């Protein structure tokens, strides 16, 4: 039996997926906030690095119990923005024995697309997949099974919370400004790729999308992959979360306490995308970058 693993060192969380060719999946997500403060300082904070390395040590211990054929380790938005990433990568290599591979926004989107659409059945015609992360949002446009274009927007749940949403709860003008930033970035992409507006199917992934779906359902113990979520439901969740204080917001069923402080930033990205694309609904994908990495590793084994 072939067993592969992948680690994604993201802006908000550090994630592990262990997978074998018998369709076993073992996922672990740890909120580490590696990207905390990076938007303002351009460097990875020492405390954030320590949190991330602690998570990676735990993952290394978990991997020791498996016979791993291939271990892929990648880093994304926070590391792309940080001037001290190589020192951080040295520390990661000392823990895992593998040096992280820095993914560009387009590489991240391309690999996430492979994972995101798996298990959703055939996708006919033009479709758009978006992945809302902590520091960036990737857009992938495809026609049937052919990926046409990938673009990365420099907006994400943690980044918008730090740069735009300064009050608790956020003031209306802060929310307007955050959504406007996403619209501006998306308009730049639409001018280049007007077919985005013709997408027949919209698929969303990432922690923000899953959290909004869980809050809408009022529960966390549910399989979200393939769930159809209406734009009106997304707007309802946004209005609820954006007008609550953090202390009140954290009590919403389906919202984990470690995401309560950044979920409004993520919602600003999500509602901006759905509004600008005039999308009546979207499909939730629970798969993404790690699934793409492990799919490629299994295919190469």
Cα angle 94-97-98, degrees, rounded to a multiple of 5: 110
* Whole-angstrom distance, CA of residue 129 vs CA of residue 109: 9
DSSP state of 142: E
pLDDT of residue 212: 98
The answer to whether residues 132 and 259 belong to one domain is yes
Residue the block writes with tokens 């909120």: 31
Question: In the predicted model, what is the mean pLDDT of residues 98-112?
Answer: 97
Q: Give the number of domains in the chain.
A: 2
* Whole-angstrom distance, CA of residue 212 vs CA of residue 233: 9
Q: Which of 186, 156, 163 is nearest to 259 (CA)?
A: 156
Cα radius of gyration rounded to whole Å, the chain: 18
- Among 79, 105, 131, identify where a domain stops: 105
Reported as a pLDDT band with limits 50, 70 and 90, residue 121 is confident
* Residue ranges making up the domain that contains 238: 121-284
Q: Are 256 and 226 in contact (CB under 8 A)?
A: no
Which domain CATH number covers 221? 3.30.420.150
* Whole-angstrom distance, CA of residue 187 vs CA of residue 190: 5
The answer to whether residues 130 and 275 belong to one domain is yes
SS (H, E, C) 149-208: EEEEECCCHHHHHHHCCCCCCCCHHHHHHHHHHHHHHHHHHHHHCHHHHHCCEEEEECHH
Reported as a pLDDT band with limits 50, 70 and 90, residue 8 is very high
Residue the block writes with tokens 């998570």: 55
* pLDDT above 90 for 122: no
* pLDDT above 90 for 207: yes
* Whole-angstrom distance, CA of residue 269 vs CA of residue 273: 6
Would 237 be classed as within a structural domain?
A: yes
Non-local (6+) Cβ contacts of 183 within 8 A are 272, 275, 276
* Whole-angstrom distance, CA of residue 262 vs CA of residue 59: 25
The pTM of this model reads: 0.96
The answer to whether residues 127 and 60 belong to one domain is no
Helix (H) or strand (E) holding 3: strand 3-9
Environment class of residue 3 by beta-carbon count within 10 Å: exposed (0-12), middle (13-18) or buried (19+)? buried
* pLDDT above 90 for 130: yes
* Whole-angstrom distance, CA of residue 141 vs CA of residue 195: 9
Q: Are 112 and 138 in contact (CB under 8 A)?
A: yes
Strand-pairing partners, residue 9, are 14, 75
* Whole-angstrom distance, CA of residue 289 vs CA of residue 8: 8
Would 110 be classed as within a structural domain?
A: no
The answer to whether residues 86 and 129 belong to one domain is no
Which domain CATH number covers 83? 3.30.420.40
The answer to whether residues 183 and 263 belong to one domain is yes
The answer to whether residues 244 and 183 belong to one domain is yes
Would 171 be classed as within a structural domain?
A: yes
- Digit-coded pLDDT (tens) for 54-85: 999 999 999 999 999 999 999 999 999 999 99
Reported as a pLDDT band with limits 50, 70 and 90, residue 239 is very high
The answer to whether residues 148 and 278 belong to one domain is yes
The answer to whether residues 265 and 126 belong to one domain is yes
Average pLDDT taken over every residue of the chain = 96
Residue bearing the bigger pLDDT, 225 or 145: 225
Report the length, in residues, of the chain.
301
* pLDDT above 90 for 24: no
Question: In the predicted model, what is the mean pLDDT of residues 96-116?
Answer: 96
């Amino acid at each position: 039996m072939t067993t592969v693993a992948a680690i994604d060192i993201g802006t908000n969380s550090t994630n592990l997926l262990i997978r074998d060719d018998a369709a076993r999946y073992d996922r672990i997500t740890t909120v580490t906030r590696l990207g905390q403060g990076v938007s303002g300082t351009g460097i990875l904070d020492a405390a954030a690095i320590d949190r991330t390395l602690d998570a990676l040590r735990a993952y290394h211990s978990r991997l020791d119990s498996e016979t791993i054929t291939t271990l892929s380790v990648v880093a994304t938005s926070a590391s792309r923005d940080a001037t001290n990433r190589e020192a951080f990568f040295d520390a990661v290599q000392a823990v895992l024995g593998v040096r992280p591979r820095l993914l560009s926004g387009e590489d991240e989107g391309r690999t996430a697309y492979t994972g995101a659409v798996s298990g959703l059945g055939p996708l006919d015609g033009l479709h758009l997949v978006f992945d809302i992360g902590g520091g960036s949002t990737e857009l992938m446009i495809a026609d049937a099974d052919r990926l046409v274009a990938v673009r990365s927007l420099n907006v994400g749940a943690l980044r918008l919370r730090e740069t735009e949403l300064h009050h608790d709860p956020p003031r209306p003008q802060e929310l307007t400004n955050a959504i406007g930033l996403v619209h501006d970035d998306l308009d730049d992409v639409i001018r280049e790729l007007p077919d985005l507006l013709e997408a027949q199917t919209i698929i969303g992934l990432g922690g923000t999308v899953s959290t909004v779906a869980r809050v809408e359902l009022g529960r966390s113990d549910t399989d979200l992959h393939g769930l159809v979520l209406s734009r009106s439901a997304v707007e309802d969740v946004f209005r609820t979360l954006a007008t609550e204080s953090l202390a009140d917001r954290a009590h919403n069923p389906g919202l984990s306490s470690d995401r309560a402080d950044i979920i409004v930033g993520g919602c600003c990205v999500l509602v901006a995308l759905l509004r600008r694309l005039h999308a009546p609904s979207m499909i939730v994908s629970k798969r993404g970058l790690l699934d793409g990495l492990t799919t490629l590793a299994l295919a190469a084994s």
